[in-house]
Amino acid sequence: MLVTLSEILNKAEQGNYAVIAPDFTSMASVRFQLEAAEQFKAPLILSYVKHIEPLCPVRSWKKWISIIREECELYDIDICLHLDHGTSVDECRQAVDAGFTGVMIDASTKPFSENVAVTSKVVEFAHAAGVSVEAEIGHVGTAAEGTYLTEDSARSHLTQPDQAEIFARQTGTNCLAVAVGTVHGEYAGEPHIDFDLLAEINQLVSVPLVMHGGSGTGDKNIEQAVALGIRKVNVFSDWIVPAQRETARLITEKPKDIARVATAQQIVIHDILAHWFQISGSVNKG
């Protein structure tokens, strides 16, 4: 059943676990992710990034979102339909109007004051519609930008605890994505997570904390991050890369065997998410 981002994360806060937030790319991946979560009785944050809108299987994007909402209501677990990395106020407004139960406004590359102003605008209309908001302070970049976020010398990109506390209080955001050493995409070298920094942020900030770039971070690192207050972990590369590679292999072998490709993707999603539900502590928490 559909719940808000706040509802799903507040339960995680009380239970000291994290909710996995995999991005989906198709209606099939939506179903496969929901089925895996239901099997393990784990809550799920179905995450959507706007740049996959060309993959919308119907003419109306809003209709597609309504279909996904209807699908979510068929499952006996807590599910949040969440906009991931909304890039503008208008994009977040479209998601709220379409029926998302959580939206992320990512103004993390903007100056602090502008990030506060943009986030506050989204919080105002989202809360009025009963929708929760995620924001980001500090900047979790991509592996393509370099390895700076895995190096201790690059603290200018990481979340500063005092700023995070002020930001959360001034904006009224429901949860906060923080930069503590993870990257989007595949790491160039070993990840180095600043757990001391995470612990300090967790002590100062009163809302649940979010980790972006969960893929490839390592089981022990994830478990420690959850112990230190991370309540939502974004996962994409971990499932999409093996699924795409297996799809390419099968299509090369038998281009017309479409059902075999779908089954392979289902198996990949099931196995990857099963592991993530375990290390996040979210099994039987749905």
| Enzyme catalytic residues | 84
- Please count the residues of the chain: 286
CA distance 157 to 173: 21
Please state, as a whole number, how many other Cβ atoms lie within 10 Å of the Cβ of residue 283. 16
As a whole number of angstroms, the distance between CA 36 and CA 16 comes to 21
Q: DSSP states of 159-184 as a string?
A: PPHHHHHHHHHHH--SEEEE-SS--B
In this structure, are residues 77 and 59 in contact, taking their beta carbons and an 8 Å threshold?
no
Determine the residue type at 162.
D
Q: How far is the C-alpha of 175 from the C-alpha of 206, rounded, in Å?
A: 9
Amino acid, single-letter form, for residue 179: A
For residues 90-114, b (16+ Cβ closer than 10 Å) or e, as one string?
A: ebbbbbbebbbbbbbbbbbeeeeee
Report residue 265 as tokens.
Answer: 């993707």
Please give the Cα distance from 24 to 223 (Å, whole number): 24
